[in-house]
Amino acid sequence: MSIRIFGKNPALEILRTDKKIFNAYIMENTNQDIVKQLKQSNINIKSMSKHEFKKQFLGNHQGIVLEVEDYKLINLSDFLSDLDLKTNPLVLMLDGITDPHNFGAIIRSAEAAGVAGIVIPKNRSVKITGTVAKVSSGAIEHVKIVEVTNLRNSLETFKQKGFWVVGTDLKAEKSYHDIDVSTPLVLVIGSEGKGISKIVKDNVDYNVKIDMVGKINSLNASVSAGILIFEILRKKL
């Protein structure tokens, strides 16, 4: 299986990894720096006119599309076996996130803040797509994505390993400033419309809210995730 990745930054990040590239599609007279690297790696390059390229590839492609091997998702047991719990790692769990733009933005923030991995459910969840990779601006090449069958059971597994689980809820009594970073953490981010599902919310250790003073009392899921992730990083530092 393969996936098409759009854009210059994602392409540059892929070239820094050992990810297999099947084909490269380049708009004529663009991205010559990347073309040089592709030729050095003996990648099959198809040069296309501007008209032909825009006809075949829609969106913000920046004149380059790479066809690469599909992203490998990690199972939970392998992910946990590689973690150093003494560093009190932070793991994100996404519950009900279906927008690829949100997912890509969350991946980008997670990589920047040193998040150990992102857990997504197998069903009723966004998958890794070209849009996700593009929005992540290459960060997806450096973040472990863990796919699980059941979020509640996965939370129990994390707890058995010594993790504390923090949920997000507009009605929570605790502020996000009160998150305890002295243990390994799982931070659960819910969907914009419904938030965290009840079955997951019933299995967190405590919930926190982001303090707001404006008239609009909700934030985009990726914005909320970014605020929480970097508050945890700030407290750790």
| One-letter-per-residue 3-state SS of the chain | CEEEEECHHHHHHHHCCCCCEEEEEEECCCCHHHHHHHHHCCCCEEEECHHHHHHHCCCCCCCEEEEEECCCCECHHHHHHCCCHHHCCEEEEEECCCCHHHHHHHHHHHHHCCCCEEEEECCCCCCCCHHHHHHHCCHHHHCCEEEECCHHHHHHHHHHCCCEEEEECCCCCEEHHHCCCCCCEEEEEEECCCECCHHHHCCCCEEEECCCCCCCCCCCHHHHHHHHHHHHHHHHC
Domain containing residue 7: CATH number: 3.30.1330.30
Q: What is the pLDDT of residue 213?
A: 62
If asked whether residues 90 and 122 sit together in one domain, one would say: yes
Average pLDDT, the chain: 92
Domain containing residue 96: CATH number: 3.40.1280.10
If asked whether residues 31 and 82 sit together in one domain, one would say: no
If asked whether residues 100 and 11 sit together in one domain, one would say: no
If asked whether residues 65 and 120 sit together in one domain, one would say: no
If asked whether residues 55 and 150 sit together in one domain, one would say: no
Per-residue pLDDT for 144 more than 90?
yes
Q: What is the pLDDT of residue 124?
A: 83
If asked whether residues 6 and 54 sit together in one domain, one would say: yes
| Span 19-73, pLDDT tens digits | 999 999 999 999 999 999 999 999 999 999 999 999 998 877 899 999 999 988 9
The answer to whether the CB of 24 falls within 8 A of the CB of 66 is: yes
If asked whether residues 202 and 147 sit together in one domain, one would say: yes
Domain stop point among 45, 69, 93: 69
The answer to whether the CB of 145 falls within 8 A of the CB of 183 is: no
If asked whether residues 25 and 97 sit together in one domain, one would say: no
If asked whether residues 160 and 220 sit together in one domain, one would say: yes
When mean pLDDT is compared across 70-74, 103-107, 193-197, the lowest value belongs to 193-197
As a whole number of Å, the end-to-end CA separation of the chain is 41
Q: What is the pLDDT of residue 216?
A: 54
CB atoms within 10 A of CB 2: 13
- Total number of domains constituting the chain: 2
pTM score:
0.90
Domain stop point among 53, 69, 85: 69
Per-residue pLDDT for 3 more than 80?
yes
Taking residues 210-217, report their average pLDDT.
Answer: 66
| Span 147-177, pLDDT tens digits | 999 999 999 999 999 999 999 988 889 999 9
If asked whether residues 99 and 170 sit together in one domain, one would say: yes
Portion of the chain with pLDDT greater than 70, in percent: 97
Confidence grade of residue 217 (pLDDT, cut at 50, 70, 90)? low
Domain that holds residue 17: 2-69
Domain stop point among 41, 69, 97: 69
Query: Between residues 5 and 1, which one has the greater pLDDT?
Result: 5
| Span 86-99, pLDDT tens digits | 999 999 999 989 99
